[in-house]
Structure 1
Amino acid sequence: MNIIGFVASPRKKGNTAWAVNAILEGAKEQGAKIQVFYFNDLDIKPCQSCYGCKKGNQGCIINDDMQKLYGALKSADALVFGSPIYMGQMSAQAKIFTDRLYAQFSPRFSPQFKEENAAKKLVLAFTQGNPDAGLFQTYIDYTKKMFQLLEFDVKDVAVITGTRSEPAQEKKDLQTAMKNIGSSLV
C-alpha cells in the first residue's frame, strides 16, 4: 500500500508536520510505503481558472511542482492531508493545493455521477492553537464534505487542539492515537 502525506504548514517541524508524520509512521509500521511532501518547499501557483485542464487530456497546464503531486496522487492508495487552522480555515498552502485538485478531481455535484475508480482513502489532520475542539468544527465539516465531493473516502479527521500552549508532540498519548489512525489506513 502506498500512502502519501501532505504537510500544508509553513513550519516543517511544527505541529502539523509532526501529526502527519506520526500518522504515516503508524502506516509504515503496518507495511505501507510512505512519502511526504512539504508544501512550503514546493513552487505551487494558484489555479488560474483557465480551464486548460478541461481541454483535451493533458490535465493542468501550469508547469510547476503541482505536476509532481499529481503523479504522486495517481500512485497513492491513501492520503494524509494536514493543515494548521489559520484565521478559522486551512492555511494558504492548503487552499492553493485544494484549488489545483480541480484539474484531476472535479467536484461531482450530480447524484447520478458514479466514479469508475474506487475513491482514495483520506485522513485529514488539523492543528489549532485554540484549546476548544469545537470552535472550528463547522469549517472542518465543510472541508471533509469538500473532499468527499472530490470523491475521496474520508476515513478519519484528527483535530489537535491547544498547540499554542503545548506542542503536539508533548501531548500525552497523542503519538499513539496518531499512529493508530495511520495503522487503520493499511
Structure 2
Amino acid sequence: MKIIGFSASPRKEGNTAWIINKILEGAKEQGAETSAFSFSDLDIKPCRGCWACHKGDQGCVIKDDMQKIYDALEDADAIVFGSPVYMGQMSAQGKIFTDRLFARFSPRFSPFFKENAVKQKLILSFNQGNPDSSLFQVYFDYTRHMFEVLEFDVKEVPVVTGMRNEPAHEREDLHTVMKDIGSALVSEPFQE
C-alpha cells in the first residue's frame, strides 16, 4: 500500500507536519510505503480557472511542482492531508492544493476521472489553537463532504486542539493516537 502525506502548512516543521508524519509512521509500521510533501518545499501556484485541464488530455497547463503531486497521487492508495486551521478553515496553502485537484479529481468534468475506480482512502487532519474541537465542525464536515464528492473514501477527520498551549510533539497523548490512525488506514478494506 502506498500512502502520500501532504502538509498544507507554511511551517515546514510545525504541528501539521509532525501530525502527518506520526500518522505515516503508524502506517509504515504496518508495511505501507510512505512519502510526504510539504507545501513549504514546493512551488505550487493557484488554479487559474482556465479549464484547459478539462478541454483535452494534457492535464493542468500550469507547470510547477503540482505535477510531482499529480504523479504521486496517480499511484497512491491513500492520502493524508493536513492543515492548520486559519480563520476558521484550512490554510491558504491547503486551498491552493485542493483547487488544483480539480484537474484530476472532478468527476463531472475531468478526462482523467475513472468510472468505478477504487476510491483512494483519505485522512483529513486539522489542528487548531482553540481547545474547542467543535468550534469549526461545520467547516470540517463541509470539507469532508467536498472530498467525498471528489470520490475519496474519507476514513477519518482528526482535529487536534489546544495548539496554542503546547506543540503537538510534546503531547504524549498524540503519539499513540496519530500512529493508530495510520495503522488503521492500512488495515481497513478499500471502499468500491
Same fold (TM over 0.5): yes
1:161 alignment counterpart:
161
Which runs of 5 or more structure 2 residues have no equivalent in the other structure?
Answer: 187-192
Partner of 1:152: 152
Query: RMSD of the TM alignment (CA)?
Result: 1.5
The equivalent residue for 1:103 is: 103
Equivalent position of 1:134 in the other structure: 134
Deviations 1:141-161 (A, max 9, x none): 111000001000000111000
Q: Secondary structure at the match of 1:63?
A: coil
CA distance in 1, matches of 2:5, 2:177: 17
Distance in 2, matches of 1:115 and 1:167, equals 42
Provide structure 1 residue ranges, at least 5 long, that are not aligned to the other structure: none
Cα distance between partner residues in 1 of 2:115 and 2:164? 41
Aligned residue runs from structure 1 range 57-76, under 5 A: 57-76=57-76
Instruction: Provide the C-alpha distance between the structure 2 equivalents of 1:177 and 1:61, rounded to a whole number of angstroms.
Output: 40
How many residue pairs get aligned? The number is 183
Q: Aligned partner of 1:52: which letter?
A: A
* Sequence identity percentage: 69
| Residue matched to 1:90 | 90
What letter corresponds to residue 150 of structure 1 in structure 2? L
Aligned to 1:118, the other structure's residue is in SS state coil
Matches of 1:162 and 1:155 in 2, distance apart? 23
How far residue 173 of structure 1 moved from its aligned partner, in angstroms, is 1.8
Partner secondary structure for residue 44 of structure 2: coil
- With structure 1 as the length reference, what TM-score do the two structures score? 0.95
Structure 1 match to 2:45: 45
Task: Determine helix, strand or coil for the equivalent of 2:105.
Answer: coil
